[in-house]
């Protein structure tokens, strides 16, 4: 019997690449979305077929849907993993950056999901949305990133309730600190954006930006490996009766638990203390 298909977006590096390899190891044929030819060459292996996919480009999303529709194998799962991290104070982050974060971290996932839902409905497969602990707790300077992740969580809940009666499951995965390049890129972007702040904004927020960068670097360094995170994603993909949400890492489990238990003002004080405030 031929292996079922799985689509993993954002598979060039990090958790996406690791998840693609892990799912191929478990016997699936993985269509791994990458944006560049050199990334395709790096990920290509037994069971992993790279496809050029920028989830913000409609023609590439349509080409992916045509590739899946033309394959006789069922589509077992879509793993919406692509994403970017852009941090900045709400006052200082340019509107173009807000729109781009939502375009990649929310609207692109919706576009791919819409395009592949006919195949998932036929196979009674599942959608696995890679959110973040930032989809449950919004740290300072995380307004755009957390806003898109909060929205992805809401869309996931709505979608789950829409298509569960049709046999398609929706699962959310919420990583905490994971040792990937995303945090490094996020810190570099935060510093570039901070350099564009007005003098008054710099006076208000420069210390906060640096404290967040330090916290992000520390959390990443002490986080799980991408391979360990990939095993959680694979569990969300393959478990016969999955939970609606999985966390990745002790920090994610701890933070989401605190968010459920503590009043907002108390949680504010906990976050401020961790930032040295």
H-helix or E-strand spanning residue 100: helix 95-102
3-state secondary structure of 218: helix
Q: HSE on the CB side for 191, CA within 13 Å?
A: 10
CA distance 191 to 56: 25
Residues paired with 80 in a beta bridge: 129
CA distance 277 to 266: 14
66 CB-near residues (< 8 Å, 6+ apart):
none
Pairing of strands 126-130, 245-248: unpaired
CA-CA distances (angstroms) from residue 9 to 20, 105, 226?
A: 9, 11, 15
Assess whether 205 carries a catalytic annotation: no
Q: How many Å is the Cα radius of gyration of the chain?
A: 19
The catalytically annotated residue of 142, 145, 205, 246 is 145
CA quadruple 57, 63, 66, 68: dihedral, nearest 10: -90
88 CB-near residues (< 8 Å, 6+ apart):
97, 141, 143, 144, 190, 193, 194, 209
CA distance 65 to 111: 11
Known catalytic residues? 145
């Amino acid at each position: 019997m031929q292996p079922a298909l799985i689509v993993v977006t954002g598979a060039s590096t990090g958790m996406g690449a690791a998840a693609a390899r892990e799912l191929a190891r478990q016997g699936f044929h993985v269509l791994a979305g990458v944006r560049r030819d050199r990334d395709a060459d790096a990920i290509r292996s037994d069971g992993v077929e790279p496809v050029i996919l920028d989830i913000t480009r409609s023609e590439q999303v349509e080409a992916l849907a045509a590739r899946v529709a033309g394959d006789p194998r069922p589509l077992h799962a879509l793993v919406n993993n692509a994403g970017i991290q852009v941090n900045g104070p709400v006052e200082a982050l340019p509107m173009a950056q807000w729109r781009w974060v939502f375009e990649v971290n929310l609207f692109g996932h919706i576009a791919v999901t819409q395009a592949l839902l006919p195949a998932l409905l036929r196979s009674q497969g599942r959608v696995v949305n890679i959110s973040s602990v930032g989809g449950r707790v919004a740290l300072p300077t995380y307004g755009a990133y957390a806003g898109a992740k909060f929205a992805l969580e809401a869309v996931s809940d709505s979608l789950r309730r829409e298509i569960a009666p049709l046999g398609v499951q929706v699962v959310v995965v919420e990583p905490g600190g994971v040792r990937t390049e995303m945090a490094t890129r996020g810190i570099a972007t935060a510093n570039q954006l901070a350099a564009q702040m007005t003098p008054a904004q710099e006076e208000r927020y420069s210390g906060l930006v640096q404290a967040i960068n330090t916290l992000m670097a520390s959390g990443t360094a002490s986080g799980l490996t991408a391979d360990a995170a990939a095993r959680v994603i694979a569990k969300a993909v393959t478990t016969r009766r999955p939970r609606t949400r999985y966390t990745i890492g002790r920090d994610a489990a701890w933070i989401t638990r605190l968010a459920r238990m503590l009043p907002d003002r108390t949680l504010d004080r906990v976050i401020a203390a961790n930032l040295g405030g």
